[in-house]
Amino acid sequence: MSVSDAIKARRSVRQFADGEISKENILKLLDAGRLAPSGGNRQPWRFILVNEAENIEAIKLMSPGLYGVPSALIVICSFREKGKDSENGIYPIDPVMYMDIGMAAENIMLLAVELGIATCAVRSFSQKAVQSLLELPENVSPELIITLGYKAGEVKMPSKKPLEDLVYSERWGRTYDLPRFP
Amino acid sequence: MSVSDAIKARRSVRQFADGEISKENILKLLDAGRLAPSGGNRQPWRFILVNEAENIEAIKLMSPGLYGVPSALIVICSFREKGKDSENGIYPIDPVMYMDIGMAAENIMLLAVELGIATCAVRSFSQKAVQSLLELPENVSPELIITLGYKAGEVKMPSKKPLEDLVYSERWGRTYDLPRFP
């Protein structure tokens, strides 16, 4: 599948049919996350694969934003280096880390489209509860949960702003001459 | 090009050959950013396309992390809604917005690979100076600059941590049984 088609076909899926995700595909998805770019090549992410039904259920209970029963989860965590010159001995999280994690998440979600796997990125969960359940050390925090499963039914594209409302040319407010975009 | 191949082939390119990016391709890249997922479908991004050489040069002078002379730039900005119940009348930026912007950026950069366009995501710039140059209102901030151009020579993949160092299963510290990944 082309990148262009995957970008257009990706949907946030919140109702899943039964079915296991093969280990081969899980490894491909994790590797896609690994290969994302990151500021200063810090690779400030760690991935917890949650495959067991009881652990998925436990995380669901901590996650008001996690709909449906996915087959597996990838919990993307931020990893902050420890350093003597930092506050509390751990460097703080910064905007670049969040953007890096967004890029890793999008790699995973776009490759999933190609592999026929449905996903949703979820941030609405108790970070404290998931931190505790996953036994994360203090310099590692759960930032985003990617649900993985097989979609049950079609999902419509949510309403998206047209390019005209999002794009300017050279300066704020200067219209970019947009043809009618297909 | 498959999503898998694009993820593997993407590099952060910092030396560019001359050559214009066609308007057709610029529109495709902007549309890829537009179609990224966002928390609560807020679409908290705005895109300033910078195409004129003197504006690219001006931004370069404000951006220690922007190498080479790209043909064009997409400055991805955060857009914060205004609201009476918010501090200073503008809602603050939050981690989800940064992750959303990372996802939009990765859509753009992966589609660029398919289109034969080289990119680099740059955060090392003076936000204040770019804000002023682009005449951004106070609720809009430049967050990430995506350089666009044609690569001059090959770029090696930077050293990446192996999956064994990044992935755990069910709990932190519990090894996921990884085959030798191709």
Q: Per-residue confidence at A53, pLDDT binned at 50, 70, 90? A: very high
3-state helix, strand, coil in chain B (%, to 5): 35, 25, 40
Question: Given a cut of 70, is residue A52 above it in pLDDT?
Answer: yes
Test the B interface: residue of A101, A103, A143, A160 with most B CBs within 10 Å: A103
Tell me which architecture the domain covering B3-165 has in CATH: 3-Layer(aba) Sandwich (3.40)
Distance between CA B145 and CA A174 in Å, rounded?
18
Which tops the pLDDT comparison, B177 or A182? B177
Distance between CA A99 and CA B105 in Å, rounded?
9
Token pair, residue B65, equals 């992390």
Task: List Cα–Cα distances, B43 to A39, B21, B22, B54, B87, in angstroms.
Answer: 23, 25, 26, 30, 21
Contacts of A36 in chain B (CB under 8 A): 7, 106
**Count of CB contacts below 8 A, A vs B?**
221
Token pair, residue B124, equals 């090392």
Test the A interface: residue of B30, B77, B99, B174 with most A CBs within 10 Å: B99
Measure B162 CA to nearest chain A CA, in Å.
8
User: Angle of helix B95-115 relative to helix B23-34, nearest 10 degrees?
Assistant: 150
pLDDT tens by residue, A17-40? 999 999 999 999 999 999 999 999
Averaged pLDDT, A175-181: 75
Per-residue pLDDT, B182: 47
SS3 A59: helix
Neighbours of A25 (CB within 10 A): 17
CATH number 3.40.109.10 given to A3-155:
yes
pLDDT tens by residue, B111-128? 999 999 999 999 999 999
Per-residue pLDDT, B83: 79
Test the B interface: residue of A42, A48, A99 with most B CBs within 10 Å: A99
ipTM over 0.90: yes
Per-residue pLDDT, A180: 58
Question: Given a cut of 90, is residue B80 above it in pLDDT?
Answer: yes
Question: Given a cut of 90, is residue B155 above it in pLDDT?
Answer: yes
Of A52, A136, A167, which has the smallest distance from its Cβ to B170's Cβ? Answer: A52
Contacts of A146 in chain B (CB under 8 A): none
Buried b (16+ CB within 10 A) or exposed e, B67-82: bbbbbbbbbbbbbbee
Question: Given a cut of 90, is residue A92 above it in pLDDT?
Answer: no
Spans of all domains in chain B:
3-165
Per-residue pLDDT, A182: 47
Contacts of A178 in chain B (CB under 8 A): 27
Closest Cα to residue A33, out of B67, B105, B7?
A: B7
Per-residue pLDDT, A89: 84
Query: What percent of chain A lies above the pLDDT cut of 70?
Result: 98
Residue of A nearest to B101 (CA): A99
Neighbours of B138 (CB within 10 A): 11
pLDDT tens by residue, A113-126? 999 999 999 999 99
Per-residue pLDDT, B180: 58
Per-residue pLDDT, B58: 98
**Reported pTM:** 0.96
| Interface touch A48/B178, C-beta < 8 Å | no
Averaged pLDDT, B18-40: 97
